[in-house]
């Protein structure tokens, strides 16, 4: 059984802290028989190699590197999947660079994946110093124990990239194609797999510490402001636009987002107020705070 753990490194104001926490937690894994893949996006590969030498890390490592921003974050993950398949790895475990994982992450994942195509582990929501905000996200947000229905993530995504492990022997991702306009890779990947008949399982007895910090692309605070509204609209529009040829639900959602865009040209402040006043952000998942006009019609 060949296992690869993949991390993308990129510049950050808290780079040294994030790197130390991430690598230390990977090196402390109870299951040791894996290869580490580090993709350096604008980061000196030689500096990372020196860091690994200082930490006395001796397990197999694969390095990839590129000038900062040469390809998109989504394209990097797509490349990692393709490379892992070409190198005949059986399992690909994604770990986010700004997160710290439990020492049993790989062990519990391999024990519980069985015949599933992918898994999504549990998470603690923390601040940048790893102080807990939400101790158990699967429990707090009632995550499904298994999923095999793409419609479960039609309006939202509960399968974060840093929580995903792929069973490369089963997922049939060798012909996976990533559109250039896709912003959120994890949601796109999970939807693609489920539409292809894949199934996933929640691994609730191992955690990743999901840091919330100023440089986070998207956090766990689902209150809307103008920035998160603009981002959410772009994310959902591009997502639905791609999948609308695969299922009528996406065609319907795409048209609803187009109508919402028209409404927001003159009513964005009103929309933000409606969402923040009438919907509890605590149980929300990513992108769930972008509601269609149909969903908010009683307050318009």
Contacts of 77 (CB under 8 A, 6+ apart): 8, 94, 161, 185, 189
pLDDT digits (tens, 9 = 90+) for 184-215: 999 999 999 999 999 999 999 999 999 988 88
Average pLDDT over residues 62-68: 97
CA dihedral 214, 93, 9, 88 (to 10 degrees): -160
Average pLDDT over residues 221-229: 90
Nearest to 206, CA basis, from 114, 110, 96? 110
* pLDDT above 90: residue 114: no
Residue at 220 is within a domain:
no
Residues spanned by the domain of 65: 3-211
For 290, other C-beta atoms within 10 Å of its C-beta total 23
* pLDDT above 70: residue 6: yes
250 and 171: one domain?
Answer: no
Cα–chain center distance at 97: 12
Counting every residue, how long is the chain?
300
pLDDT band of 88, cuts 50, 70, 90: very high
Pairing of strands 35-41, 61-66: parallel
* pLDDT above 70: residue 122: yes
- As a whole number of angstroms, the distance between CA 256 and CA 260 comes to 6
pLDDT digits (tens, 9 = 90+) for 244-298: 999 999 999 999 999 999 999 999 999 999 999 999 888 889 999 999 999 999 9
Q: What tokens appear for 120 in the block? A: 């999504």
pLDDT score of 214? 83
pLDDT score of 166? 98
Average pLDDT over residues 63-92: 95
Residue at 61 is within a domain:
yes
Nearest to 63, CA basis, from 33, 88, 38? 38
* pLDDT above 90: residue 145: yes
* pLDDT above 80: residue 220: no
Average pLDDT over residues 123-141: 90
165 and 60: one domain?
Answer: yes
Nearest to 84, CA basis, from 76, 92, 93, 73? 92
Residue at 284 is within a domain:
yes
CATH number, domain containing residue 92: 3.90.550.10
pLDDT score of 58? 86
Helix (H) or strand (E) holding 250: helix 248-278
186 and 77: one domain?
Answer: yes
251 and 282: one domain?
Answer: yes
Check: pTM over 0.85? Answer yes or no.
Answer: yes
114 and 200: one domain?
Answer: yes
Average pLDDT over residues 150-157: 97
Average pLDDT over residues 41-60: 94
Which residue among 163, 182, 211 closes a domain? 211
Q: What tokens appear for 268 in the block? A: 């964005």
- As a whole number of angstroms, the distance between CA 91 and CA 83 comes to 12
Residue at 288 is within a domain:
yes
111 and 231: one domain?
Answer: no
28 and 168: one domain?
Answer: yes
95 and 145: one domain?
Answer: yes
The fraction of the chain above a pLDDT of 70, given in percent, is 99
150 and 293: one domain?
Answer: no
pLDDT band of 219, cuts 50, 70, 90: low
192 and 234: one domain?
Answer: no
Pairing of strands 61-66, 146-147: unpaired
50 and 128: one domain?
Answer: yes
């Amino acid at each position: 059984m060949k296992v690869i753990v993949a991390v993308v490194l990129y510049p950050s104001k808290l780079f040294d802290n994030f790197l130390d926490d991430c690598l230390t937690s990977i090196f402390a894994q109870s299951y040791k028989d894996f290869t580490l893949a580090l993709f350096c996006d604008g980061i000196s590969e030689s500096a990372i190699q020196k860091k690994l030498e200082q930490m006395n890390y001796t397990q197999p490592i694969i390095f990839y590197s590129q000038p900062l921003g040469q390809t998109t974050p989504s394209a990097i993950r797509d490349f990692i999947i393709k490379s892992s398949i070409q190198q005949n790895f059986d399992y690909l475990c994604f770990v986010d660079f700004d997160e710290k994982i439990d020492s049993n992450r790989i062990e519990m994942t391999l024990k519980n994946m069985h015949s599933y195509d992918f898994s999504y582990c549990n998470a603690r929501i923390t601040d940048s110093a790893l102080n807990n905000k939400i101790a158990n996200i699967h429990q707090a947000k009632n995550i499904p124990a298994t999923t095999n229905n793409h419609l479960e993530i039609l309006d939202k995504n509960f399968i974060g990239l840093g929580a995903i492990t792929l069973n490369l022997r089963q997922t049939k991702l060798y012909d996976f194609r990533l559109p250039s306009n896709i912003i959120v890779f994890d949601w796109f990947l999970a939807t693609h797999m489920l539409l292809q008949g894949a199934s996933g399982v929640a691994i609730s007895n191992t955690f990743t510490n999901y840091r919330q910090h100023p440089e986070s692309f998207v956090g766990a605070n689902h209150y809307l402001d103008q920035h998160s509204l603009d981002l959410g609209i772009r994310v959902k529009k591009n997502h639905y636009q791609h999948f609308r040829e695969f299922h009528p639900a996406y065609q319907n959602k795409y048209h609803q987002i187009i109508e919402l865009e028209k409404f927001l040209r003159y009513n964005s402040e009103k929309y933000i107020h409606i969402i923040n006043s009438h919907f509890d952000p605590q149980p929300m998942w990513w992108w769930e705070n972008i509601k269609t006009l149909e969903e908010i019609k009683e307050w318009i």
